Amino acid sequence: MPIPAQRDLEQSRLALRDWLATQLPDARDVEVSDLTVPSGSGFSNETLLAEASWRDAAGVEQTDSLVVRVKPTGFQVFLDADFALQYRILSVLDRESDVPVPPMLWFEDDPAVLGAPFFVMRRVAGAAPSDQPPYNEGGWLFEATTAEREVLWRNAIDALITVHRVPTEQVAFLAKPELGDTGFDQLFAYWKQSFEWAAQGRPQPAAQAAWEWMAANLPANRPTALSWGDSRVGNILFDRGQVSAVVDWEMLSLGGHMVDVGWWLFLDDYHAMDAPRLPGLGSREETIALWEAGTGEQVEDLPWYEVFAGFRFAVVMMRLMQMLAAWGVVVPSDEYNEANNPVTRLLAHKLELAKGA
């Protein structure tokens, strides 16, 4: 569900046109057209799509398709979205790694242009599997053949492996030493703060139980390594089955690779709660085997990391439900509210499995 319209698109188009002219000092006749908000624009950041055109110093007309990500100024889903860090990590990955990300162009810190800081990247060809309807129930992935889905799934896991091959020293600027000694410790402390912030003192039985169990059963290995954060097939753009970009880095950290594996598997189960997993999309065992073969690492403490994934998703759901209630979009019910929803029910199930592991 997209965030409600909150800006004058014509006014923003003109502001973006004038700003773009300052980024292209040798250009003339700069124009921005077709400024739109994509239907899949999410809750955590505002996204704008635009077409740009100009004449270069030789008088030759140039065009480009742009994506503009705007820092949230209203209701925040995340305690600290690290907006500037998103641009920085994407820029590093764009220039210095094999991770497929959109080409990064500019960052603007001055809120006077669009009402908040923003960054601009080049639009790449491709589309992500649908969240609405869930890809197991409808959309282009649902309509693909089993063979096509298997190719896509393997390419998606390869993209995750590529993220996990990024040397830690290349992204050491993501460290938050004030929160702990390792990237894992820093991420765990951050989500403790996020839980307290999102819960607002109200009872959250599933998340509280998960937190207490996780704190009592911390993994012995607490690494420092790049985590994409929101690692799932729905955050990968595909063009004819090939990965064109890995997107949505709001949950990035140095929490380690298992954070991404746990999130991937939890989200895979979450999307299969109401409809069977599509043939061709690899099973849990196949996903783990492919990831281990590609990274040379071994999956460890997986039950813990799946509970951690469900816990973080439950915290996000608290904020989403609060946001929707504030907008008057959804009236919470006994079966769907910030403390009781499909995410918390899956989390409770994963916690019971972890306790029995």
pLDDT in tens, 114-169: 999 999 999 999 999 998 899 999 999 999 999 999 999 999 999 999 999 999 99
pTM summary value:
0.94
pLDDT, mean of residues 236-259: 96
CATH code for the domain in which residue 13 is found: 3.30.200.20
Q: What is the pLDDT of residue 6?
A: 64
Helix (H, G, I), strand (E, B) or coil at 119: strand
pLDDT, mean of residues 262-282: 96
Strand partners, 118: 70, 108
Give the DSSP H or E segment for 53.
strand 46-55
pLDDT, mean of residues 199-205: 96
Please report which confidence band the pLDDT of residue 61 belongs to, taking 50, 70 and 90 as the band edges.
very high
Q: What is the pLDDT of residue 333?
A: 81
Copy the structure tokens of residue 291: 């990831």
In angstroms, the CA 210 to CA 204 distance is 10
Please report which confidence band the pLDDT of residue 3 belongs to, taking 50, 70 and 90 as the band edges.
very low
Residue 4 placed within a domain: no
Question: Which residue range forms the structural domain that includes residue 17?
Answer: 9-122
Comparing 330 with 301, the larger pLDDT belongs to: 301
Residue type, 218: L
Among candidates 321, 356, 108, which has minimal Cα distance to 200? 321
Among candidates 125, 86, 85, 87, which has minimal Cα distance to 106? 87
Q: What is the pLDDT of residue 146?
A: 98
Same domain, 79 and 161: no
**pLDDT-above-70 percentage for the chain:** 96
Residue 317 placed within a domain: yes
Contact 20/33 with Cβ under 8 angstroms? no
Cβ neighbours around 170 below 10 Å, total = 13
pLDDT in tens, 83-98: 999 999 999 999 999 9
Q: Buried b vs exposed e over 200-231: b needs ≥16 C-beta within 10 Å?
A: eeeebebbebbbebbeeeebeebbbbbbbbbb
Residue 130 placed within a domain: no
If you average pLDDT over every residue of the chain, what do you get? 94
Copy the structure tokens of residue 255: 């929490």
Cβ neighbours around 198 below 10 Å, total = 24
DSSP 179: G
C-alpha angle 84/85/88, rounded to 5°?
Answer: 95
In angstroms, the CA 271 to CA 261 distance is 16
Q: What is the pLDDT of residue 2?
A: 44
Contact 249/230 with Cβ under 8 angstroms? yes
Same domain, 93 and 167: no
Copy the structure tokens of residue 16: 């973006």
CATH code for the domain in which residue 332 is found: 3.90.1200.10
Same domain, 71 and 178: no
Same domain, 251 and 334: yes
pLDDT in tens, 69-85: 999 887 788 998 789 99
**pLDDT-above-90 percentage for the chain:** 86
Same domain, 115 and 148: no
Q: What is the pLDDT of residue 1?
A: 42
In angstroms, the CA 353 to CA 303 distance is 7
Q: What is the dihedral of CA 113, 118, 121, 126, to 10 degrees?
A: -110
Helix (H, G, I), strand (E, B) or coil at 146: helix
Q: Buried b vs exposed e over 31-48: b needs ≥16 C-beta within 10 Å?
A: ebeebebeeebbbbbbbb
Residue 127 placed within a domain: no
pLDDT, mean of residues 211-239: 97
**How many structural domains compose the chain?**
2
